[in-house]
Amino acid sequence: MFDRPLDCLAEAGAASRALHAVRPGALAAWLAEREPGQAAYLTASGFSAKAGERALLPGPDGVAAAVLGVGDDTSPFVFGDLARALPAGSVWHLVEGDYDMAAAVLGFCLGAYRFERFRTAARAPARLVVPAGQLAALRSAGASWMVRDLINTPANLLGPKALAAAAAALGERHGAAVTVIEGDDLAKRFPVIEAVGRGSVAPPAVVRFEWRGPGAAADAPLLSLCGKGVCFDTGGYDLKPAAGMLRMKKDMGGAASVLGAARMIMEEELPIRLVVRIGCVENSVSGAAMRPSDVLQSRKGISIEVGNTDAEGRLVLCDMLAEACEEQPSLLVDCATLTGAARVATGPDLPAFFCNDETWAERFAEAGRLAHDPVWRLPLFAGYDAWLASSVADVNNIAGKPFAGAIVAGLFLQRFVQPGIPWIHVDLYAWNDSNRPGRPEGGEAQAMRAIFAAARRLCVAETKHN
């Protein structure tokens, strides 16, 4: 269900039309190589090769070719309209030019995505004959489609059990050792997650899978990934207003993005060890649900006062971070749709991240930039740590002040991370509010490619260190 093929691809060797991509500075020379009628048509129509500008080129049998202006854009997204803008069902091949072929293939596929599982009729996208050597781009696109499908699936069809099954299936498909922790075992190993989920009729679970790349030694770098998988968030007793619940099926977007990154790592067979933890839970209201002012005992031994039941994401993560640290990972990364404050600070398209290690902060930011998956660092400002004080427990899950919500959430999580372990916390939106080239409205795989690129850097960094 969450591993569907890319239906925007055509078989190698299929009859196809030429698709050109041109920059403004090369337009004159490119026009000089076209048939006189095509060149005259483009010139008369004012085609200037600005980013996103498209034109179909006429031929004896109708449409002979197409041209895309890319301006000075080097991202995949300049190619993101093609699959839906070109004639439905038509088949194309990219003509080499002054652009990155991998970015073009990725952008074409990202733009072809639509979540149409429940529609009786769907428009077929244009299809692309992909040149040899683009497997990495196709794997990235496939992982993005999987993440988007997970996020877009409504909560009645993707509850904690279904999310756990999807995570377990991904691990098993790649030969990972998979464990599903639930019931009494969950209460012992992850007591805070169990407390968050006990208010729902859908029991919570944690999926853990462990994988080692071919050729990776027993002491190869260990990357640990943790994902918040809140399949629906009512806010609990601190109930969200109706408008605030409309997109809460996406509250498992951190888990989805972690699974997408894990998929890319395993498909690329990176020479590392990988451990993934996904907290699968629903935050509901019932007589069994946690209440404001309840005190929870965490795995790490830190007691937590529940100042607000709608700040459940950090509760889902804290026990997983504590267990992950017991394994002494080379790098620990968590992803969560955690705070509205992060969206206020950096907007919907730029995930905020926090890091306790300067070297890895620089590496992660660079990885996101190079992968066209940008992230932006916010500070773990120790001066706000006292805001989490509780009069009855070691820590409150919210601050007593209405400021710096994303920073405070990061400071809460930092208490569960062992000093000395490099840790990155990603606070993401996981959603596109509207249709844009390569980014259709709905669930989005944010920080996924950045994490994968960081995993590659982990291999290099550890090799140089040793």
If pLDDT is split at 50, 70 and 90, which confidence band does 56 have? very high
Q: Is 303 exposed, middle or buried (0-12, 13-18, 19+ CB in 10 A)?
A: middle
Quick one: pLDDT at residue 50? Answer: 97
pLDDT at residue 463 tops 80: no
- Number of neighbours of residue 197 by Cβ within 10 angstroms: 31
Task: Average the pLDDT over 323-330 and give the result.
Answer: 98
Question: What residues act catalytically?
Answer: 240, 314
Q: What pLDDT score does 121 carry?
A: 79
Quote the CA–CA distance of 368 and 356 in Å, as a whole number: 18
Could you give all domains of the chain from N- to C-terminal order, each with its CATH number?
9-133 (3.40.220.10), 140-465 (3.40.630.10)
Model confidence at 170, pLDDT cuts 50, 70, 90, reads very high
Question: Could you read off the pLDDT of 240-294 as tens digits, one per residue?
Answer: 999 999 999 999 999 999 999 999 999 999 999 999 999 999 999 999 999 999 9
Q: Is 250 exposed, middle or buried (0-12, 13-18, 19+ CB in 10 A)?
A: buried
pTM to 2 decimal places: 0.97
Residues 301-320 have pLDDT tens digits of: 999 999 999 999 999 999 99
Select from 203, 227, 168 the least CA-distant residue to 281. Answer: 203
Pairing of strands 352-355, 376-377: parallel
Q: What is the pLDDT of residue 150?
A: 98
Q: What is the pLDDT of residues 127-142, one digit of tens each?
A: 999 999 999 999 999 9
The per-residue pLDDT for 461 is 61
Question: How do residues 347-403 score in pLDDT, each as one tens digit?
Answer: 999 999 999 999 999 999 999 999 999 999 999 999 999 999 999 999 999 998 999
Q: What percent of the chain has pLDDT over 70?
A: 98
What's the mean pLDDT when you consider all of the chain? 96
**What gap in Å lies between CA 125 and CA 379, rounded to an integer?**
43
- Rounded distance, CA 283 to CA 391, Å? 25
3-state secondary structure of 425: strand
Which pLDDT score is estimated for 464?
Answer: 52
Place of tokens 């301006």: 71
From the list 104, 40, 189, the residue with the least C-alpha distance to 438 is 104
Q: Which residues pair with 273 in a beta bridge?
A: 212, 222
Task: Read off the pLDDT of each residue in 426-451 and give the average, rounded to a whole number.
Answer: 98
Which of the residue ranges 206-210, 214-218, 238-242, 341-345 would you say has the lowest mean pLDDT? Answer: 214-218
